[in-house]
């Protein structure tokens, strides 16, 4: 899941690191016409994130309702003399947990590096590595090599599966044209959307579909159970031409 992090500056004393929390004060007040989907896109998070952070059992929201649009993340800034073992022990976690959470491939750390102490594993590197041997804590930038390695790891970790895919339009008999997550397909005919079984593919997920491209899991259907998806296609004839086929999909997030 996506989480926003507020940068924390290390305490001046070299023997003590800077630990704290990212702000979770960002709240969105629901306006008339808002949907979880539109709010998720405005805040660069997923629908499932908003549901989890606000303990929502459905995608139904109301005007004037206040929704958290950020999650809390505890962080720690490395100071001179720190080791992974010391940081992990001080925060009641193992070295492996700390490394996995921050996508670290070695035990080498530098003053100024910032670690996530709880939350889910991040998709991009959260720890920056200094290129100079500075004697005081300094915020540094992530190297190109680190970024490329993390991107490759993210791509390889995408969940892949084989599903049966059918197609639908926004103008079928009895259709309103509005998806389960509030996307108006008649007003947005070029939107790539698929209907899914939320127990298999969470609503709000980005999904790559063979022969269709990258789409949002933004709809459900009575016949969509298990490893079955329904791809939205604006043209009724094109939807008919799609037919029923077996395709490979990748759940990107």
The CA-atom distances, in angstroms, between 28 and each of 33, 61, 69, 104, 194 are 14, 12, 7, 34, 27
Grouping H, G, I as helix, E, B as strand and the rest as coil, residue 73 is coil
β-bridge partners, 66: 29
| pLDDT computed for residue 72 by the predictor | 60
| pLDDT computed for residue 47 by the predictor | 87
Fold exhibited by the domain 18-25+70-154: Membrane-bound Lytic Murein Transglycosylase D; Chain A (3.10.350)
- C-alpha to C-alpha distance for 171 and 223, rounded to whole angstroms: 18
Reported pTM: 0.43
Backbone angles phi, psi at 99, to 5 degrees: -65, -45
| pLDDT computed for residue 231 by the predictor | 96
Nearest to 172 by CA among 188, 185, 190: 185
Tens of pLDDT along the chain (253 residues) come to 444 444 333 333 333 455 554 444 478 899 988 888 888 888 888 888 888 888 888 888 888 898 888 766 678 889 988 888 889 888 888 888 888 888 888 888 888 888 887 654 433 333 333 333 333 444 444 444 454 454 445 445 578 999 999 999 998 777 788 998 889 999 889 899 999 999 999 999 999 999 999 999 999 988 999 999 999 999 989 999 999 999 999 998 8
Q: What are the extents of the domains in the chain?
A: 18-25+70-154, 159-251
The CA-atom distances, in angstroms, between 103 and each of 80, 115, 189 are 21, 10, 39
Superfamily of domain 159-251: RlpA-like domain (2.40.40.10)
């Amino acid at each position: 899941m996506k989480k926003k992090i507020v940068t924390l500056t290390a305490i001046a004393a070299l023997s003590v690191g800077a630990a704290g929390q990212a702000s979770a004060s960002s709240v969105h007040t629901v306006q008339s016409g808002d949907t979880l989907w539109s709010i998720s896109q405005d805040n660069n998070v997923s629908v499932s994130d908003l549901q989890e952070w606000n303990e929502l059992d459905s995608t139904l929201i109301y005007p004037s309702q206040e929704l958290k649009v950020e999650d809390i993340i505890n962080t720690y800034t490395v100071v001179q003399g720190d080791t992974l073992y010391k940081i992990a022990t001080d925060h009641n976690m193992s070295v492996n947990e700390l490394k996995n959470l921050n996508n670290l491939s070695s035990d080498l750390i530098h003053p100024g590096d910032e670690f996530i102490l709880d939350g889910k594993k991040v998709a991009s590197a959260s720890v920056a590595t200094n290129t100079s041997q500075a004697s005081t804590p300094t915020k540094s930038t992530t190297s190109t090599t680190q970024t490329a390695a993390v991107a490759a790891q993210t791509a390889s970790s995408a969940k892949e599966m084989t599903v049966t895919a059918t197609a639908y339009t926004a103008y079928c008999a009895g259709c309103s044209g509005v998806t389960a997550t509030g996307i108006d397909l008649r007003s947005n005919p070029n939107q790539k959307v698929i209907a899914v079984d939320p127990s298999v593919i969470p609503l709000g997920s980005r999904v790559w579909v063979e022969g269709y491209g990258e789409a949002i899991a933004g709809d459900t259907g009575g016949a969509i159970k298990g490893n079955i998806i329904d791809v939205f296609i604006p043209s009724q004839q094109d939807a008919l031409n799609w037919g029923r086929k077996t395709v490979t999909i990748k759940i990107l997030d």
